[in-house]
Amino acid sequence: MIYPITSKCNQKCIFCSAYNRYNCEFNIDDFKNFINSNNDNLVVLSGGDPFCISPSLLLYILNLCIEKNKTIELQTNGSKIIDFDENILRKIIFLMKRTNGYFNINLSSHNKSIDLKITGLKNGFSKRIKGIKILNKFGAVIRVTHVINKLNYKYLPKFALFLLKNKNLWSWVQFSFVKGIGRASENKYIIPKYSEVSPYLIEAMEILNKNNFEFWVDHIPLCFLGKFYQRHVDYVKINKGIKGEYVKEKKKIKKCRGCSLFKFCSGPRIDYIKIYRNL
């Protein structure tokens, strides 16, 4: 289950799904209720950006999760890590490891000028790579999330090669097609068609697959993933009978009738169909 621990953020990503969603400051009682009341073992600490809160508060939150035997996914854009004292970072990583957790770092491009266009943060690319290197030096487990949008989809194969070139820095990648909510709902031009993205995404997955680098995909239907449809996170969840919020944001359409993947797919995103009306 996802919990935003702050609404503060130092970036203005064009795809930000948290934009205008809430204005929250961390509330201890509310958070305790949250972790006490849900049975999900995984707690996703989100924002804003969790590195925008004070180090002591972040350590406190991690300790609360440890007390409840939760595994933590800590979502971040990675650019504020370098502002934290290295001893504090070591403690954060130590606590994350105790939860079997990992850092989920949003990396929008392999290229600094595209990164700037997407995130709006000057020198953001070099800051986040430096941050990732520090986490890596202290033994953190890192997952990369790459939000596919109009500005970066044609570079997916190059992004895959970039991941491989630096594969000691991260453990796996999740490709996440941009959601039509938050800031993207005001900038619909950044949402490409599934069919435009598909060949680039399949080529990127081919590259990673050949090199045994783990990858997963979400928010683009199975029928656009070629032979890699089993790498869709919903395919795995549906096969395991896992229920959750993920089914509420997607819906199969008329065109899905008769599809051989029907029972393994949750369909296109509802916000995507509102824009393009069809697959």
Read off the DSSP letter of residue 173: E
Write out the two tokens for 131. 């941050």
- Least distance to ligand SF4 from the beta carbon of 178, Å? 17
User: What is the side-by-side strand order in the sheet with 2-4?
Assistant: 2-4, 42-46, 71-76, 102-106, 142-148, 172-177, 214-218
Please identify, using beta-carbon distances, which residue of 47 and 267 lies nearer to ligand SF4: 267
Q: Which is nearer to ligand SF4, 128 or 232 (by Cβ)?
A: 232
Residues of this chain that bind ligand SF4 (CB under 6 A): 221-223, 252, 255-256, 259, 261-262, 265, 267-268
- What 3-state DSSP class applies to 143? strand
Nearer to ligand SF4, 172 or 229 (CB): 229
Pick 50 or 221: Cβ nearer ligand SF4: 221
Q: Residues 161, 119: contact at Cβ < 8 Å?
A: no
DSSP notation for 20-42: TT------HHHHHHHHHH---SE
Shortest spacing between CB 273 and ligand SF4, in angstroms:
10
The nearer residue to ligand SF4, 256 or 270, going by C-beta atoms, is: 256
CB of 64 or CB of 261, closer to ligand SF4: 261
Instruction: Work out how close the CB of 218 gets to ligand SF4 at its nearest, in angstroms, rounded to a whole number.
Output: 13
- Smallest separation, CB 219 to ligand SF4 (Å): 11
| Closer residue to ligand SF4 in complex, CB, 183/252 | 252
Name the minimum Å distance from CB 256 to ligand SF4.
3
State the nearest-atom distance from the C-beta of 47 to ligand SF4, in Å.
31
- DSSP 3-state of 149: coil
Cβ(124)–Cβ(165) below 8 Å: no
CB of 259 to ligand SF4, least distance (A): 3
What is the spatial distance between Cα 145 and Cα 104, in angstroms, rounded to a whole number?
Answer: 7
Q: Which residues are CB-contacts of 110 (< 8 A; sequence separation ≥ 6)? A: 155, 158, 159, 161, 162, 163
d(CA 189, CA 99): 40
Of 69, 71, 27, 68, nearest in space to 45 by CA: 71
- Calculate the CA dihedral of residues 274, 242, 182, 131 and round it to 10 degrees: -140
